[in-house]
Amino acid sequence: MKEIERKYLLDASILTFLKHQEDVSIEKLIQYYTKATPTKSIRYRKSSDHYFKTVKIGKGGIRDEVEMQISKKIYQKNRSKAVGEPIRKKRYHVKLDNILYSIDVYKKPFKPLTVLEVEFDTLKAYEAFSLPDVLLPYVEKEVTEDEAYKNKNLALFGLPLRDKEVQGAQSGEAVMEEFQKFYDQIETYRRKWLENKEAEDMHQLRVHLRKTIVLMDAAAFLFGDGILDKHRKELKKILSITNSQRDFDVLLDGLGQMDISREIVPFQGALEILQHDIERLSKEENQNIEKYLKSGHCGSILKHWKDFIEKAYRKHLTFYADYPIESVSGYILKKVHKQVGKKIYQLKKEKMQDLDVLHRLRILFKRLRYLLEVFGPFYSKKKIRKMLARVKTIQDRLGQIHDTHQAQMMLGSWFERNEATQPQIVYLLRTRLIPDLKTFQQESIFKIEKRLNDFLKQDVAF
């Protein structure tokens, strides 16, 4: 069904007016949200001894709404999934000229917010409505179309800023400053790598591409029209092309360490042939990367992104961009942290052996780490340093598991291509290298389990 309503911001003195009205009823409401996006919300509400789940889709004063009564058990069960702050308010119902008005008086931390709501059965009644004269002295402004006053956004970000009031840095501008820093680093390390082919320059290029992509995904709601998603897809093309070189670097580093091991001496000739072949493949990959980073396609992607950062972003900002960066960053960090916790619980059910879940968990920890580094300056340095150290340690361990898996895949592919022509190397792979990788992988999975359990225990501290 359609929810058709108008909303008005009131002065708190409306309570004096209500004291002199007859037939005023009062309803105490407690509600929380398990989903809150710019166009959809899922709300759980307690009203006296009754409980409801409501799904709303849309914006402004006319939205699709589905509401159902639920049990107390379901209401309580879903509280752990809540995003943002719970909302407590006292709702006054009063009839004036046969129209029912609802006046919400919010409790802390939203006090002294007071909002008037009027619901309509038809669009015609909605469009024809005007406030009665008796209420006009208490109305500050209509906020029907102001998404900042939707309860879901109050839950996520707190009280809206009034008249563009700035409390610290605004989130839209603060995020754009980070994008500018990352862009400068991307161009710097792209140029340096093309000049000298240093592995560290390629590593830093990929790091700043990843940081940009992670922040684009996390902050997409600050910008309308799906604009960040378009740029993110383009930058991911550059990252994807440059990423493959890292797998070769890790594998060659591992083989180099085996090269100096006494245990590998009987296989030294086979190992050298294998290293030489992988170095050849790595060199070919480097040439492909160089060609792409010099290409007009790569340059066009970066130029469009630069133009957006310097000129075009302002026309795409949403009302969320006006919130203080502290509120927005807190919401983003909590959201990613919750995703990490869910993935850890999923992994525990799989008995720590699901490599696909481990891979997705690694990506989530990397995302959390990058966002902590971006937003860290807005919080206690000591606490952020501790959290970053824990996150980085787990990310590194999960990275080792991922690198081991990638090495197995690459060696397995080489095995299939050369089984008939290189029996000595195939024997080395079958009897030593691949079994050793599998053993190391299992040992790493065993070690990571305790750290993940410790991370969950410190969830409240975060």
* Residues annotated as part of the active site: 33
What would the two tokens of residue 19 be? 């004291």
State the amino acid at position 265 in one-letter form: V
CA nearest neighbour of 275 among 441, 439, 429: 429
Contact 42, 53 (CB under 8 A): yes
Scan for tokens 């108008």, then name that residue: 6
Which residue pairs, CB below 8 angstroms and at least 24 apart, start in 420-426? 422/270, 422/273, 424/267, 424/269, 424/270, 424/273, 425/270, 425/273, 425/274
What DSSP element (H or E) covers 445?
helix 434-457
Which 3-state string (H, E, C) describes 397-443? Answer: HHHHHHHHHHHHHHHHHHHHHHCCCCHHHHHHHHHHHHHHHHHHHHH
What would the two tokens of residue 290 be? 């160089």
Cis peptide before 324 (omega within 30 of 0): no
Burial class (CB in 10 A: 0-12, 13-18, 19+), 264: middle
Which residue pairs, CB below 8 angstroms and at least 24 apart, start in 62-66? 62/2, 62/3, 62/4, 62/123, 62/126, 63/2, 63/3, 64/1, 64/2, 64/3, 65/1, 65/2, 65/3, 66/1
Burial class (CB in 10 A: 0-12, 13-18, 19+), 2: middle
Question: In sequence order, what are the residues at sequence separation of 6 or more whose Cβ sits closer than 8 angstroms to the Cβ of residue 168?
Answer: 324, 325, 326
Contact 373, 218 (CB under 8 A): no
Q: What are 83's strand-pairing partners?
A: 33
Cis peptide before 137 (omega within 30 of 0): no
Contact 40, 170 (CB under 8 A): no
Burial 136-156 (b: 16+ CB within 10 A, else e): eebeeeebeeebbbbbbbbbb
Burial 338-369 (b: 16+ CB within 10 A, else e): bebbebbeebeeeeeeeeebbebbbebbbbbb
